[in-house]
Copies of this chain bind each other. A is one copy, B any other.
């Protein structure tokens, strides 16, 4: 599980889509303007979101993207893992020369990291895009 701004942008973009899709597809240009994210960057993100079937695209003039499901069906975990290809936590045994190579502490941190990964995933599993929108609404209402 990686947590970078890429994931954050993806959530932002998806939230924008959820809020603004309304019969017509939403173009990247619109999202770019509203969210202040470079259109080039969005292209990158939506390529992956599409590969993971989170959005559906319409090409050509007046084309754009729509969500594949209703916001309450889209878990944040799907979004995050769609854009961050490596979903797993940082592997210990990537290079076996250093650190975790069978010595004492090997599996201490290993299982710890795995537990943490589970813990974080749980967080994102529980949240849907709808939850995010609802929160924003409440916030603006105050």
A residues at B contact (CB < 8 Å): 3-5, 8-9, 11-12, 15-16, 19, 34-38, 76, 90, 92, 98-99, 101, 103-105, 107-109, 111-113, 115-116, 119-120, 123, 127, 132-133, 135-136, 139
Contact = CB atoms under 8 A, between A and B. Distances in A.
Number of copies: 2
A132 B108 contact: yes
Contact of A11 (B19, B38, B109): B109
A19 B104 CA distance: 10
19 contacts: A3-B3, A4-B90, A11-B112, A15-B105, A15-B108, A34-B105, A35-B103, A35-B104, A36-B99, A36-B101, A37-B98, A37-B99, A104-B136, A108-B132, A108-B136, A111-B135, A112-B127, A115-B123, A119-B119
A85 to B, nearest CB: 18
A110 B84 CA distance: 19
Nearest to A118: B123
A85 B108 CA distance: 23
